[in-house]
Structure 1
Amino acid sequence: MATIFTKIIEGEIPCYKIAENEGYFAFLDIRPAAKGHTLVVPKRETDYLFDLEAADFSGLMLFARRVAKAMDRALQPIRTGVVVEGLEVPHAHVHLIPIYREGQHAALGNPVDVTAEEMEAVAERIRVAWGDVGAGVGAGVDAGGDTGQEAGHEAGGNP
């Protein structure tokens, strides 16, 4: 049975897409720990992050790096935190969480309130910055098939 992330990737469930390439997909978390909280997932389902093949693990991290750089440019946090938990959804994924103030932790579980309009605006800012940071940030990732599919809200309607 397909995971919720696979259903999002395939457009069966709407999302605020940030970017994708041949192997990876990034979208806003609908229960964000901070405005701009993004999930980065491999398109191929693997339950446990450390069960990914070395090349897939590296590709995921390089893709996540480019997404984080786009987030840094678009949202201007102090920095972007990385969290990997891996128990709630049986599909390897990385949380990228903007940290806007000293003492803020990139913790999950206490979502902030963000309207659908704010989600779309944040997603658009990151998508624009994704294009600005370019392929050089994720060296090797775009050679793996960046489709340029940064278009926004997928599968109609708000999540």
Structure 2
Amino acid sequence: MASIFTKIINNEIPSYKIAENNQYIAILDAFPLVKGHVLVIPKQEVDKIFDLDRESYNGLMDFSYDIAKAIEQAIPCLRVGVAVVGLEVPHVHVHLVPLNSMEDINFAKPKLKLDANEMAEITSQIKSYL
């Protein structure tokens, strides 16, 4: 059964797409910790990050680097945090989270509820720096 991310990659579920190439996609997290929280996902459906072959892993990190640099310019923050948890969805994904405090990357806290206009604006802001 395809993961929710595979369905997003296949355009079966809408998303706020930041960037995409043949191997990776970056989208706004639908349930963000903070404004500008992005998920970077390999198109290859693999459950655990260290089950990726080294080339795919390095490609994911390279793609994430470019997205993180754009987030850092678009969203006021001290830095962009990186987390790979992988327990919610059985498909590798990297969280890029704009940080102003340690609380910003606390996955136990309530998620933001942003409307479609806010999500579209954040997407546009980040894309403008790519």
In structure 2, what is the equivalent of residue 128 of structure 1?
Answer: 128
Q: 1: CA distance between counterparts of 2:6 and 2:22?
A: 14
Identical counterparts, % of pairs: 47
- TM-score norm. by structure 1 comes to 0.78
Q: Partner residue of 1:148?
A: none
1:81-110 per-residue CA deviation (whole Å, 9 max, x = no partner) reads: 1111111111001001111x3443412242
Q: Give runs of aligned pairs for residues 111-126 of structure 1, distance below 5 A.
A: 111-126=111-126
Give me the whole-angstrom Cα distance separating, in 1, the residues matched to 2:104 and 2:96: 12
Structure 2 partner of 1:150: none
Shift of 1:22: 1.2
Residue by residue over 1:101-130, the C-alpha shift from the partner in whole angstroms, topping out at 9 and shown as x without a partner, is: 344341224212322111110001111111
2:53 paired residue number: 53
Amino acid at match of 2:103: Q
- Corresponding position of 1:38: 38
2:112 and 2:54 map into 1 onto residues whose CA distance is 34
For residue 128 of structure 2, give the secondary structure of its aligned residue in structure 1: helix
Structure 2: gaps of 5 or more residues: none
Can you list the C-alpha shifts for 1:7-33, whole angstroms capped at 9, x where unaligned? 001100000000011110000011100
Alignment deviations for residues 67-89 of structure 1 (CA, whole Å, 9 cap, x no partner) = 00000011131111111111111
Larger radius of gyration: 1
Q: Provide the rounded CA distance (Å) in 1 between the counterparts of 2:56 and 2:71.
A: 22
Corresponding residue pairs, total: 129
- Point out 4+ residue stretches in structure 1 off by more than 2 angstroms: 101-105
Q: Counterpart of 1:76 in structure 2: which amino acid?
A: P
| Partner of residue 20, structure 1 | 20
CA deviation after TM superposition for structure 1 residue 47, in Å: 0.5
Paired residue type of 2:106? A
Q: CA RMSD for the aligned pairs? A: 1.1
Task: Give the equivalent residue in structure 1 for 2:78.
Answer: 78
Residue 107 of structure 2 aligns with which residue?
A: 108
Matches for 1:143-158 after TM superposition, within 5 Å: none
* SS in structure 1 at match of 2:31: coil
